[in-house]
Amino acid sequence: MEAFAIFAISLAVLLVCAKYFVESAALLAEAAGVSPLVVGMTVIAFGTSAPELVVNTLAAYRGETGLAFGNVAGSCIVNSGFVLAVTALIRPLRVETSIITREIPMLIAGVAALLILAADNVLSRADGLILLLLFGIFLYYTAIYAAAKRALEGPDPFAEEVAANAVSRKPSAKDAIILLASLAGVSISAGYAVDGASALARVFGLSEALIGLTIVSLGTTLPELTTCIIAARRGNADIALGNVVGSNLFNIMAIGGSAATTRAVPVPDGGQVDLAAMALLTVVLLPIAIRSGRQVTRGEGAFLLTLYLAYLSFRLTTQS
């Protein structure tokens, strides 16, 4: 099918270009004197959400707001109900104290803000600016916390390893060319991905919001899934929960805010149900993180996956 081929190929190119863009940007940023802490918290930490950011912002700019809305909600649902669940099934996840006391409460607050702003069935440009402001506040407090933790406890060995792997050599003119080429590749492939997703919606008779909620969100979440699975296989599965929570915060505040600021995003038919599912999968993370000796067990992973599959089946059988 031509529409599916266009979407699949453009998505694959998008993911590859986003990877090279993040790596070259991190290398050049540190060479320019930006601290490894800032590089890690911005370019590297949120690099896995680059596909969602570009696709959603471009979709909003083109007026395909249903696709943008579906991808924001869908990416959060996929992260919590699929990525985290699959990682826990591979290896139980140890939960850091900061995840319980800081990150998950911040995510719950972000979801609550999105629910309130979308209560009138539209995310206006003003709503988008509010979400971006909340994201700025989140970054500020994350930077303060990370700096204080580093001063108190010293460098994090895992973070040092990540930084060493990401910035392991001196930059060259080639890296600047890769940065520009990968940026162009991200922009062009994102355009084709949006076109392919819209064509798929027409072929299958589905709404753009539902295509964004399912196919597009699953596709653009591949970097998070890959990162978590590799970490689990290497015995570093503990980072998966932080990766999922951070990615969802970025999706809601930065990506949702950017899309709504670009163009007002109406909540499509069934959108409030999607937001409710996103809220449920977010709120349930807190008791899961606290119980079972502060581990996300395989049983809890299976529970999250069951919730996700049940919701996905419900939406596909009752799609608007």
Mean pLDDT of the chain: 80
Summarised one tens digit per residue, pLDDT across range 62-107 is 888 888 899 899 989 999 999 999 999 988 888 878 788 888 899 9
Rounded to whole angstroms, the maximal C-alpha distance in the chain is: 57
pLDDT above 90 for 280: yes
Q: What is the domain count for the chain?
A: 1
Lowest mean pLDDT among 49-58, 159-168, 175-184, 196-205: 159-168
| Burial zone of 33 (CB within 10 Å; 0-12 exposed, 13-18 middle, 19+ buried) | exposed
How far apart are the C-alpha atoms of 185 and 175, rounded to whole Å? Answer: 15
Q: 66 or 205: whose pLDDT is higher?
A: 66
Parent domain of 116: 2-317
266: domain CATH number is: 1.20.1420.30
Residue (of 200, 182, 202) closest to 190 by Cα position = 182
Across the range 120-144, mean pLDDT stands at 91
**pTM: predicted TM-score of the whole model, two decimal places:** 0.79
